[in-house]
Structure 1
C-alpha cells in the first residue's frame, strides 16, 4: 500500500494529478491489503511538466504553430519541426499580440527550448502574461511559487496566483489549490475549502478535480460521507479520461460501493486505467486475472501485469510477485526469488510483505533458516497490526524461536490477534487455557475461546470445542452440541474431526446412528490421506458392506493406509485375508501382511504372526518364531500377547520364569484370572521362588474381584493357616463364594467345613451333599471323601461297596488318598495283581522301588489339601518341572493334614519320605509315619483292612532299614506318637 500524504503534494506532471487522499485510498480498495493507489513519478526536468500542463489549456486557435508546439509529444517526436522553429513561431505570434503564444514563449525561454535557458527572461514574460490576465500564465506562476526552483518557494503567492487562475476558469488551478488546502500548504488545513475547489475544478471539466471530490465525499472530509455521490464523482473523472478516476470507478463497481456490483464493468474500467499505466490498476487487474473475476483466469497475464507494477516500485505489487513465485502461479516456482521480492516490499514498509519475509526466514523458504531475522520482521508486521503476524509472533515466543521463551508476551500477542478475529490465535489461547501453560488451567475459558475461534473459521478451534462438549470439559457434557462442533470442524477441512464424526455416526456413539452420514465423513477424512480414517472406512466396508468387500473397495482403503506405514492397517488386511472377509480366504497372503505389520512394530500384527507360527497355518510351524513375535508384541503393551505367553506351556525353567513374568504383568493390570494363576506360581514355587505370603496376597486380590479359583485357594490357605492367616470362618465364606460360582474345589471345601465343623456348625449330611456336588463337578478329592464317609458310616450308612465305588472313581480322577486306600485294601486281600502302576507305587518294599515312577501322572489335590485351580486348557500339559513342584506341594499338604491325625495322610507322607517323592528321602522318617498310620488304623474298628495292609508294608520295609535307620525310626515313631493328636473320632476322616 502506498503511503502518500493526505492528498499528496502534486509534482510537475500532467495536470498536477497527484492529489492523493491516503484515507480515501484505503477505503476505495477492495480490502485493506489488496490494490494500492498509484503515484506518478516526479519528472527529472520541468520540460515535460510544463509542456503537458500547457498542452491541456484551451487555445483560442489550437491550430497555430505555437499552439501545436504546446503539445510536448508532438514536437518531441517530430523529425521535421525543430524546437528552434517552434520557438520562433511562438515568438512571432506573441509579438502579434497572442497572449497564449507569449506564455508558451516565456516557458520556452525558461526551459531552454530551442536556445539556451533564460530563467529571468522566461519568468518575466510569464509574470507579464499573468498580470495581463492569462489564466495559463497565472496557473504556471502559482505552480512555480508552490514548488520552488525557478523562483523561491512561496505558498502565499502560489495560492494567490492559483486563485486568480481558478477565478479565470482554470480547472487545473482549482484542483491544485484544493490540494494545497487539504495539505495545509501556506495555511491551516481546510477540508471544506478543498472540497469546494475540487468541485469547482470538476465543474470546469477537470477530471482529476472530480476524482478528488469523490475521494473527499467517500472519506467524509469537509463534507458528509456519501458513497453514492463519491461514485458519481468518480464516474465523471473516468469519463474525462483520468486514469485514477477509472481505477476508482472500477473499484466501486467491484465492491458494489455507491452502485450495483458489476464485475464485468469493474474489470473494464480497471483495464482502461491499467492501459494508461496506472500501477494500482495494473496490480488489481492482475488480481482479477488470478481469480477470474470479470475476466477469464490467466495466471501468465496476471504475473506480467503484477511484475509491471512491481517494476515501478509499488510495494503491494512487489509482495504479490513474491506470492506468485512462492505459489508457482504464472511463473515457475522459485522460493529464493520470492524471498527477494518480499524483502523489497518489506523494506518499503509493506507490513504483509514483512510477515511473508518473516515466515520465509522462519521456515527456511528460499534460503537458510534465520530465526533472529524472522522474529525481527515478525515484530515489525505485528506492530503494524497484521493479525497473522501477531499470532505467529506469539507462537515463536511460546516456543522460544528467535528469542527466549516468553509465555506472558506470547499470550499478549495472541490476545491482540484474537481481538481482530484471528481464529488460530483464539485456538492458541484455548489450548494454553486448557493445558495451563502460561496461565492457570481454565477449561471454561478454553471452551469459550475455542468456540469463538470456530466461529471465525478455525477448524482446530472448532474441533477442540466439539471434543470438550462431547466429554463435558468446562461445561456439562452435551454430545449433540459436541457433534455439531466436530461437524463444523470437519466442514472446515479438519480431517481428524471428519474421522471422529464419521465414527460417531457409523456406530451411534453419542449421536443418532446414521451409516450413510458416517460413511460420508469417513470418506472425506480418508480422501485427505488420513490413514486412521482409511483404516476405519476399510474395516467398516468389510464388516457392513459385503459387496464393497468383494469388489475390493474395502481392501483398497486398507492398502492405502498400509502404504502410509500405518501399522493397524497391516493387521486389518491380514485379518481380512485370514477370515476371508476380503472376498477370499488366503492364509498365506494374511501372513505376508502380518509380517509387514510386525516389522513396522504393529503389536496386533506381531501377535497374529505369533499365532500363525504357533499353529503352522499359512506358514511353517515354528515355536521359536511364535514366542519371539508374541514377546515383541507383549513388550509393546499388547495384552492378548501377554496372555498367550502367560498360558504358554513352559518347556524349561527359563520358560517358566518367562511365563511368570507375563503373569505378573497381567496380574498387576488387575486381571483376576492371572492374579489367581500368579498365586499358584508363588504357592508352587514354579518360575519364581515359593512365597506363601505373596501367594495369599494375589489370591486375596483375585478373590475380591470374584475369581472362583482364587476364592477356593484363599479359603484353603485360611483354613490351613499356610500363608500366615488361619481363620475357619473366613475360609468357609470364601469357599462358599467359590461354590456359588460352580467351583468344584469350593464345593469340596464347603463339604469339609460342614464335616469338620470349621467356620460353620458340623453337619455330616450337608457335607455329603456338598461332596456329591463337587464329585459331579470333577473333584477327585470330594469323591475320595465320599468313599471314606461310606467306610466310616458318617453322614451315610456304612457301605463298603459304595466306598470302593467312590474310591475307584476318585483314583481314576487322580486322588492319591483313594489310590492309597485301594492299594492297601488289595495288599490286605492279597490281590495286588489288580492294582494299577500308580497304585502300586504307594506300597513301599513291594519287590521294586517305584520312586522313579512315583508321580508320573500324579496331579491330585485333597479336600484339606490345597484345591486344584481351574486353568485355561492352553496352559496344559504341565511339564516335568511343574510336576516336580506339584509333588513338593502335595507332600507339604499331606504333611499338614497328617499332623491333624488323618491316618491315610500319615501313610501318604510316610510313603513320600520313604521314596523321596516331593520331599527329601528319609526312610527312617517314612517308616515312622507309616507306623503311626498303622496304629491309627488299628484303633478304628472299621479300618481293619487298612491296619492289616499297613502291617504288611511295615513288615516288608523294616528289613530294608539299616541298624542306624531302625534306631532313628523307633525314636521318631515315639516322638510322633507323643505329639500328633490321636483323639479324633473316625480316624479315616480325621474328624470327630
Structure 2
C-alpha cells in the first residue's frame, strides 16, 4: 500500500518523485529506483543529480562509470549541493579523464586508469567550497590538499586549521590529518605523543592509514611505549583494511615472529597481497622466501617471478638476485649474458655489491668476448662518472686486456683513482708499485698502500704486508708484527696465512718458538688443501716435533702432499718405505 501511495504522489512533484525513487531502492527495486532518479535529475534537482552520480560511481542499478558519475556530480556541485562538491573534489584529486574542451564538462570516452589526469587545482576549488559550507569530510580533504598537494599549493598552517575543524566535528580523517601534521613537525617526545594521540582517535575509528602510522610509532617507541605485539596488531588491522604498506609489514612480522607467533604460511599470504598491490619490498621478500627455502620448499622459478616484479619497480637488490639466479643456473639454464644485464641494472640503481659481481664476471670463463667488451665499456663510462668500484674494474680490464687492449699504464692510473674509496684497489695499486707494472717501481709507496688495505681488514693485504715485513722490503723488518697480521688473516680463513703463521712459529724467526701452535696452523692449512701445510704436518707428526708422534697419520698427509707434486713429501715417503726412522731435528720450521 505504501508503495502505491508513493507512486501516486510521485505524479505531482519532483520531491515526491525523489522520495518514491528512494523507496523503490530501499525495497530492492534498484534498477527502477535509479531510473526514476535519473528522470528527476534531468529535471534539475541537485539531490537527485548527486544520487545518480553516486549510483554510477558505485555501480548501483547502473553499470559503473567514472565518467557518468563525475558528470552528474559536477551538475549537482554547480547547483550548490555540498556533498557533491566534496565528492567531485576527491574525483579531481585522484584523476578524471581529460576534458574535451574548456567548459564542456567531463569527456565521455575512455575510462581506463591510464586516461585519468589528476587536477589538484580543481580538486582544491571544489573541496574548499564544500569545506566552507561546513562539510567535515571536505574540510579534511581540503586540509590534505594544502598539506600534501603540489608544492606551490601547500600551506601547512592552513592545512592544520582545516584538519582541526574537521576533527572538532568528529571526522576521523581530520584526526588522521592532524596526526600527520604533528608527526612531521615533532621535534621531541611530547610532539610525537601529541601526534600519536590524534592518530589513535583515527585508528579507533577504523582508518587503516592511521592504524599503520600508529603501528610504526608503536614499533619505534616514539610518542608511545615501544610494544612489538601492539605494533604488529595495528599492522594486522591496517592490513585487513587494505593498506599495502601494512600488509608488507604484517607479513614481515609474521615471517620473523616479531610481536606474534611465527607463521611462514600466513606471512607468505600477506606478503603476496602487498606485492600484488605493488609493494616492491614485499615482492623482494617473497623472492628471498622462495629462493632460500626453509619453511617453504625452495622454488627458484617462483622466486624469479617475484624478483622480476620487484626489479621492474626499481628494486636494486632484486636485480642482483636475478643476476645470481642467472649466473648459477638456479631454476633456469645458466645465462651469463643475462647475469651481466641484471648486475648492470642493480649497479645503476646503487647496489654496490653488483659492481663487485660484474668485476668477478670479467674472469668467468663462460663470459663471451662480446660481453667482456660490453662490460669494459660499462666500467669505462661509470668510472669516468666517478664510480670508484667501476674504476677498479676498468683498471682490471686494462691490466689484463679483458674486452679491450691491454694498457698497464692506464690501468695503474685508474687503480690509483679507485684506491681512495675501494680497499681492493689499495691492495692492487700497492702490488703495481711493488712490481713496477704501469708505473715506476716504488717499494715504500707500494707497502704503504698495501698497509692501508690491511688495516681495513683485507686478508690478502694482511698476508702481503706480513711478507714485506718478514723481508724488510719497502720498510723495516718486523717479524712480530708479521705474526699478528698472519694470525688476523688466518682467522678470516686465508689458507696461505695459516701455513705462513705455522712456519713463523716453528722456529728460525724473530718470534718465540711455539711448535704446538705451529702444528695447529699447519693442520688448519693442510685440511684446506694447502700442499706445503700437508708436508709440514706430516713432518711434525713423523718426528713428534710438537710432542706427539703418529707415523700412520704422518704418512697420510705426506701422501696427500706428494699427490700435489711436492718433491720433499715424496722424499719423506721414500725414506719411510726404506724403513728409515725419524730424523730428529730435521726440517723443523
Normalising by the smaller structure, the TM-score range is 0.7 to 0.9
Q: Aligned partners of 1:866 and 1:311: how far apart in 2?
A: 101
Q: Which moved more, 1:239-248 or 1:644-653?
A: 644-653
> Do residues 677 (structure 1) and 500 (structure 2) align?
yes
Name which of 62, 68, 74 aligns with 1:271: 74
Deviation string, structure 1 residues 262-316 (Cα, Å, up to 9, x no partner): 4444333222222212233233333444413263654433332332222223233
Indicate whether 1:292 and 2:96 are aligned: yes
Partner residue, 1:408:
229
CA shift in 2, pair 1:611/1:703, >3 Å: closer
Corresponding residue for 2:114?
none
Q: What do the CA deviations read for 1:912-956 (whole angstroms, capped 9, x no partner)?
A: xxxxxxxxxxxxxxxxxxxxxxxxxxxxxxxxxxxxxxxxxxxxx
CA distance in 1 between partners of 2:379 and 2:529 (Å): 42
Alignment of 1:607 with 2:410, yes or no, is no
Q: Are residues 1:379 and 2:183 paired?
A: no
In the TM superposition, residue 214 of structure 1 has moved relative to its aligned partner by: 3.9
CA distance in 2 between counterparts of 1:232 and 1:425 reads 41
Alignment map for 1:323-342 (pairs within 5 Å): 323-329=144-150, 331-342=152-163
**Cα distance in 2 for residues equivalent to 1:493 and 1:605:** 29
> How many residue pairs are counted as aligned between the two chains?
563
Q: Are the structure 2 counterparts of residues 537 and 605 from structure 1 closer, same or farther at C-alpha, using a change threshold of 3 Å?
A: closer
Asked whether the 8 Å contact 2:120–2:149 carries over to 1, the reply is: no
In structure 2, which of residues 479, 498, 511 is the aligned counterpart of residue 688 of structure 1? 511
User: Residue in 1 aligned with 2:259?
Assistant: 438
Match of 2:56 in 1: 253
Shift of 1:372: 0.7
Q: Give 1:712's aligned residue.
A: 535
Residues 603/409 of structure 1: CA separation in 2 closer, same or farther (3 Å cut)? same
Query: Aligned residue for 2:563?
Result: 740
Would the aligned equivalents of 2:247 and 2:271 in 1 still touch at CA under 8 Å?
yes
Match of 1:241 among 35, 44, 47: 44
Judged with a 3 Å threshold, the aligned counterparts in structure 2 of structure 1 residues 575 and 247 are, in CA distance, closer, same or farther, namely farther
* Deviation by residue 1:750-773 (Cα, 9 ceiling, x = unmatched): 2322344438xxxxxxxxxxxxxx
Question: 2: distance between equivalents of 1:596 and 1:715?
Answer: 46
Larger Rg: 1
The whole-number CA distance in structure 2 between the counterparts of 1:322 and 1:390 is 20
Task: Give the 3 Å change call, closer, same or farther, for CA 266–534 of structure 1 in structure 2.
Answer: farther
For 2:16 and 2:289, how far apart are their aligned partners in 1? 59
Match status 1:347 vs 2:168: yes
SS in 2 for 1:758: coil
Report if aligned partners of 1:719, 1:726 keep a CA contact under 8 Å in 2: yes
TM-aligned CA distance change 1:702 to 1:454, over 3 Å: same
Deviation readout 1:635-675 (Å, 9 max, x if unpaired): 33323323322443531775323332222223333444332
Which of 437, 446, 462 in structure 2 is aligned with 1:642? Answer: 462
- Please state how far the C-alpha of 1:389 moved relative to its aligned partner: 1.8
Displacement after TM superposition at 1:259 (Å): 2.4
| CA shift for structure 1 position 508 | 3.3
Counterparts in 2 of 1:727 and 1:559: CA distance versus 1, 3 Å: same
For the residue of structure 2 that corresponds to 1:363, the secondary structure is helix
CA contact (8 A) 1:696 1:714 kept: yes
Deviation at 1:365, TM superposition (A): 8.4
Instruction: Report the 3-state secondary structure (helix = DSSP H, G, I; strand = E; otherwise coil) of the residue aligned with 1:203.
Output: coil
Verify the 8 A CA contact 1:630 1:644 in the aligned structure 2. yes
Aligned-residue offset at 1:212: 4.3
- CA displacement at 1:375 relative to structure 2: 0.8
CA contact (8 A) 2:412 2:432 kept: yes
CA distance in 1, matches of 2:355, 2:539: 54
Distance 1:369 1:303, change over 3 A: farther
- Residue 10 (structure 2) aligns with: 202
CA gap 1:618/1:677 in 2 versus in 1, 3 angstroms: same
For the pair 1:229 / 2:32, whether they are aligned, the reply is yes
Contact 1:660 1:687 in 2 (8 A): no
- Change in 2 beyond 3 A, CA 1:687/1:447: farther
* Aligned equivalents of 2:171, 2:509: Cα separation in 1: 78
Q: In the alignment, which residue of structure 1 is the partner of 2:491? A: 668
Is 1:375–1:393's contact at 8 Å kept on the other side of the alignment? yes
Per-residue CA deviations over 1:608-648 (Å, capped at 9, x if unaligned) read: 33223333445554433333332332333323323322443
1:112 matched to which residue of 2? Answer: none
- 1:315 match: 136
1:500 counterpart residue number: 321
2:446 maps to 626
Whole-angstrom distance in 1 between the partners of 2:266 and 2:354: 31
Deviation of 1:209 (Å): 3.9
Paired residues of 1:495 and 1:530 also in contact (CA < 8 A): yes
Question: What is the CA–CA distance in structure 2 between the aligned matches of 1:547 and 1:573, rounded to whole Å?
Answer: 11
The whole-number CA distance in structure 1 between the counterparts of 2:187 and 2:10 is: 50
Instruction: Decide whether aligned partners of structure 1 residues 510 and 555 sit closer, same or farther in structure 2, where only a CA change above 3 A counts.
Output: farther
- 8 Å contact kept, 1:289–1:295: no
| Alignment partners' CA distance in 2, 1:538 and 1:740 | 34
Change (3 A) 1:463 1:643: same
| Other structure's SS at 1:426 match | helix
Contact kept? 2:284, 2:306, Cα under 8 Å: yes
| TM-score, normalised by the number of residues in structure 2 | 0.82
Q: How far apart in 2 are the matches of 1:444 and 1:738?
A: 51
Aligned-residue Cα RMSD (Å) equals 3.8
2:286 is equivalent to residue 473 of structure 1:
no
Three-state SS of the structure 1 residue aligned to 2:549 is: coil
